[in-house]
A and B are shown apart, each in its own frame.
Chain A
Amino acid sequence: MDLTCTEEEDAFRERLRRWLGEVLPTLPAPPAADDWPGRRAYDAAWQRRLYDAGYAGLHWPEDAGGRGATPTQHLIFLEETERAGAPYVGANFVGLLHAGPTIAAEGSDAQRARWLPPILRGDEIWCQGFSEPDAGSDLAALRTTAVRDGDHYVVSGTKLWTSHAEVADWCELLVRTDPDAPRHRGISWLAMPMDAPGVTVRPLRTLAGSAEFAEMFLDEVRVPVSHRVGAENDGWRVTMVTLSFERGTAFVGEVVACRRVLGALARAARANGRWDDAVLRRGLGRLHAEFAALWRLTQWNVSEAGAARPRGGRSGIGGVPGTGGSVFKLRYSQARQELYDAAAQVLGAGALDADHEWVAGRLSSLSYTIAAGTSQIQQNIVAERILGLPKGR
């Protein structure tokens, strides 16, 4: 067990810090929260800066256009960009964390060449078309159909919770290509252009007031067969390769951010006198231990993934094993909600001010135990796949 950085890692951190110190002051002011085209442009421009400086796809393998960095360097990157207050991955999330890694792992050479470079450069934005009105936690119940018509699929159905759908160029879409097969074996993974005729997007307002989700209606959309990644009806496996990434390192920067918010909460409580409330104070102390441990768990998971990384050959993108990610996500999502509930205690009646940053944080924290696999589903995964309890009701 070694928690220190090598000289090479220290040098990497130093170089990154210097670059962030130079580039961040030159960024324009971020757009308003509901200005989606503005946010797309802002996020894409940041991704382009990362690309030009050699930080895009840091931990992607070099044959996929990445930099082949070690998991530790990737962790340092996420830690330092958050510390410096760099922009979030934002609209690039699906491309960099789902669709890209899936294509890198499962796509043909032509597909990798077509889709990966624009993701890394911030030229193309992806959204995710997985969930449906009747296929949420039970994703394999999805009903959107894709019927072969020559060298095209004709796709019809409804998708839900599609983040950034309004501004996306591509959608990673799960469709049913064999309605007669057992449900996990009749699904395919398609890259669908969002400007194709028959695609209609309707924004969905969340309880936080924002409209980052959308419903997506697909009415006989024609998608070339060449846009299918992986074999026909093998889409479930293709997808599972990637889903674990979301539960792995996707929240690393957020843990760093939560620790910063916690410090700010303590200082605010000291300033307004609520620090004298022992229940509140001790609760903040406990959260200090929680987030420190979550950071250590991240280091543990990343080290484990590093040890398991295949050497040579065409590798996938080193991600965190899905099960370790489930343990992390279960505790992190709960801790984040506790953090912002503590913020509300610190704020008192100020917690009723919807414009307050911590109140917005409190509202959005409610999605963490739901998105990317609800806590109940995560507990099933932990119980069945790690602990070996029988599948059941």
Chain B
Amino acid sequence: MDFQLTEDQRALQGATRGLLAGRFGPDRLRAAVGDPAPDRALWRELGAAGFFALRLPEEAGGVGLGLPAAVFVFEEAGRALLPGPLVACQLLAGVVDGVASGEKIVGLCEGTRDPVLWEHPATCEELILVEKGTGCHDRAGRGAQGRTGGVYRSAADRVSCAPFASVDPLTPLARVTDLPRTEPLALDVPRLRREAALLTAAQQLGSAARTVELAVAHARRREQFGAPIGAFQAIKHLCAQMLVRTEIARCAVYAASVTDGDIDVTGAKLLADEAAVRNARDCVQVHGGMGFTWEAEVHLHLKRAWLRAECWCTAGEAEELLAADLIA
């Protein structure tokens, strides 16, 4: 057993962070708040860097890495608040032509939600709909239709939807009004759900880690009563608990990327959601009045964390699945 990152894994993490810092820095982030459509050139660059083809075999033009690598990359994306249907494009690379290279952008949505929401509807050329199940694994999907039933692809213009005012400025949403079932796709649904949940959790982890840094940086800089507010225990303890949540979620997410087990992924999603949402709220609190402004980056983390928490295994679903596992 050696539950630490290898040299290669650290290098991948560092390279991804460097790429995103260079191509999606603070200015780009601010610009994206006004225009959240993914930057096509950046998307192709990510494609060329192997962001989407990461797990495809080398003979298929991929990088041939596994889930842990995808998790490190998605953690960095979450940290940078990179907008776009990242999970969809990672999971459909190699399934839908053009996605792996970053030429084509597709969306993925869960038909079992109410409302059924579609991220970046104006950007996606296709929408892939997953009809079955709600959790990280899908018992219903193993019934009459088999494990591969219930996934459809449709051209974006075939999808009927209504406007939806997204709470997250970086993620435009549309409400799908009539589930599009144009062409069935033979995909392993439980696996798709599990990986979607894990990659979403990885982004939550990145966001949680980032808000700790933001809170700590502010607490060191901001002075009141003649001292940096970070010298006061009330602030220190908020920050310490933020770190604890992050590190617990990190261990759960990394371990789940190695075991790829349903229950491990479910637990990781639950803890990463909690870390991202609660850390972002505490980060707002540490920032005081500044935290309540549109200008500070903090609210973007909170809103995206809320959005991710509603995708691919919510807290309620996760807790029920975990509870069921206790008596299985």
User: Which among B1-9, B105-113, B154-162 touches the partner chain?
Assistant: B1-9
Q: How far is the CB of A295 from chain B (nearest CB, A)?
A: 9
Q: How far is the CB of B68 from chain A (nearest CB, A)?
A: 6
Point out the residue from A285, A331, A392 that lies within 8 Å of B231, measured CB to CB: A392
Q: Which of B227, B257, B259, B325 has the most CB of A within 10 A?
A: B325
Is B60 part of the contact surface with A, judged by Cβ < 8 Å?
no
Point out the residue from A1, A266, A297 that lies within 8 Å of B4, measured CB to CB: A1
* CB neighbors of A among B198-229 (8 A): 212, 216, 219-220, 227-228
Q: How far is the CB of A324 from chain B (nearest CB, A)?
A: 8
Is A304 part of the contact surface with B, judged by Cβ < 8 Å?
yes
Is A384 part of the contact surface with B, judged by Cβ < 8 Å?
yes
Assess whether A3 is in contact with B243, with CB atoms less than 8 Å apart: no
Point out the residue from A2, A284, A293 that lies within 8 Å of B248, measured CB to CB: A293
Beta-carbon contacts of B24-48 to A below 8 Å, as 1s and 0s?
A: 0000000000000000000000000
**Which 3 pairs of residues, A with B, have the shortest CB-CB distance?**
A392-B231, A289-B267, A285-B323
* CB neighbors of B among A248-305 (8 A): 262-263, 266-267, 270, 275, 281-286, 288-290, 292-294, 296-297, 299-300, 302-304
List the B residue with the shortest CB-CB distance to A378: B240
Point out the residue from B1, B244, B267, B327 that lies within 8 Å of A292, measured CB to CB: B267
User: Contacts A380-B233, A383-B239, A390-B228 given: A281-B6 contact, CB under 8 Å?
Assistant: no
Compute how far the CA of A106 lies from the CA of B68 in the bound complex, rounded to whole angstroms: 41
Is B255 part of the contact surface with A, judged by Cβ < 8 Å?
yes
User: Contacts A262-B326, A389-B231, A390-B231 given: A282-B320 contact, CB under 8 Å?
Assistant: yes
Assess whether A289 is in contact with B326, with CB atoms less than 8 Å apart: no
Q: 16 A–B contact pairs at CB < 8 A?
A: A1-B257, A3-B255, A4-B1, A286-B270, A286-B322, A289-B271, A289-B318, A290-B248, A293-B252, A300-B3, A327-B243, A376-B237, A379-B236, A383-B236, A389-B239, A392-B230
Is B249 part of the contact surface with A, judged by Cβ < 8 Å?
yes
A residues near B228, Cβ cutoff 8 Å: 389-390, 392
Is B321 part of the contact surface with A, judged by Cβ < 8 Å?
yes
Is A307 part of the contact surface with B, judged by Cβ < 8 Å?
yes
Assess whether A9 is in contact with B243, with CB atoms less than 8 Å apart: no
Point out the residue from A1, A267, A284, A302 that lies within 8 Å of B258, measured CB to CB: A1
Is B97 part of the contact surface with A, judged by Cβ < 8 Å?
no
Interface residues of B (CB under 8 A from A): 1-6, 9, 68, 212, 216, 219-220, 227-228, 230-233, 235-237, 239-241, 243-244, 247-249, 251-252, 254-255, 257-259, 263-264, 266-268, 270-271, 316, 318-327
Compute how far the CA of A275 lies from the CA of B243 in the bound complex, rounded to whole angstroms: 33
Assess whether B1 is in contact with A383, with CB atoms less than 8 Å apart: no
Is A361 part of the contact surface with B, judged by Cβ < 8 Å?
no
Point out the residue from A72, A292, A389 that lies within 8 Å of B220, measured CB to CB: A389
A residues near B241, Cβ cutoff 8 Å: 330, 379
Beta-carbon contacts of A18-37 to B below 8 Å, as 1s and 0s?
A: 00000000000000000000
Q: How far is the CB of B232 from chain A (nearest CB, A)?
A: 6
A-B CB pair tally, cutoff 8 Å:
175
User: Contacts A300-B3, A379-B237, A383-B240 given: A1-B231 contact, CB under 8 Å?
Assistant: no
Q: How far is the CB of B229 from chain A (nearest CB, A)?
A: 9
Compute how far the CA of A88 lies from the CA of B247 in the bound complex, rounded to whole angstroms: 28
Beta-carbon contacts of A107-150 to B below 8 Å, as 1s and 0s?
A: 00000000000000000000000000000000000000000000
Point out the residue from A9, A270, A331, A380 that lies within 8 Å of B1, measured CB to CB: A9
Contacts beyond the supplied A330-B241, A379-B237, A384-B236: 14 A-B pairs with Cβ under 8 Å: A1-B4, A1-B9, A2-B2, A266-B326, A289-B268, A289-B322, A290-B271, A294-B248, A300-B4, A303-B1, A331-B244, A383-B239, A390-B230, A392-B233
Q: How far is the CB of A317 from chain B (nearest CB, A)?
A: 19
Compute how far the CA of A283 lies from the CA of B9 in the bound complex, rounded to whole angstroms: 35
Assess whether B267 is in contact with A1, with CB atoms less than 8 Å apart: no
A residues near B231, Cβ cutoff 8 Å: 389-393
Compute how far the CA of A393 lies from the CA of B237 in the bound complex, rounded to whole angstroms: 12
* CB neighbors of B among A314-370 (8 A): 327, 330-331
Assess whether A296 is in contact with B4, with CB atoms less than 8 Å apart: no
B residues near A331, Cβ cutoff 8 Å: 244, 248
Is A5 part of the contact surface with B, judged by Cβ < 8 Å?
yes
Assess whether A389 is in contact with B251, with CB atoms less than 8 Å apart: no
Is A68 part of the contact surface with B, judged by Cβ < 8 Å?
no
Is A382 part of the contact surface with B, judged by Cβ < 8 Å?
yes
B residues near A302, Cβ cutoff 8 Å: 3
Point out the residue from B227, B233, B240, B270 that lies within 8 Å of A289, measured CB to CB: B270
Q: How far is the CB of A326 from chain B (nearest CB, A)?
A: 8
List the B residue with the shortest CB-CB distance to A284: B323
Assess whether B271 is in contact with A293, with CB atoms less than 8 Å apart: yes
User: Contacts A1-B258, A3-B258, A262-B326 given: A392-B2 contact, CB under 8 Å?
Assistant: no
Q: How far is the CB of A196 from chain B (nearest CB, A)?
A: 40
Compute how far the CA of A391 lies from the CA of B258 in the bound complex, rounded to whole angstroms: 39
List the B residue with the shortest CB-CB distance to A267: B327
User: Contacts A284-B323, A304-B4, A389-B231 given: A297-B240 contact, CB under 8 Å?
Assistant: no
User: Contacts A270-B327, A282-B316, A390-B231 given: A299-B1 contact, CB under 8 Å?
Assistant: yes
Q: How far is the CB of A13 from chain B (nearest CB, A)?
A: 11
Is A387 part of the contact surface with B, judged by Cβ < 8 Å?
yes
Assess whether B255 is in contact with A388, with CB atoms less than 8 Å apart: no
Assess whether A1 is in contact with B243, with CB atoms less than 8 Å apart: no
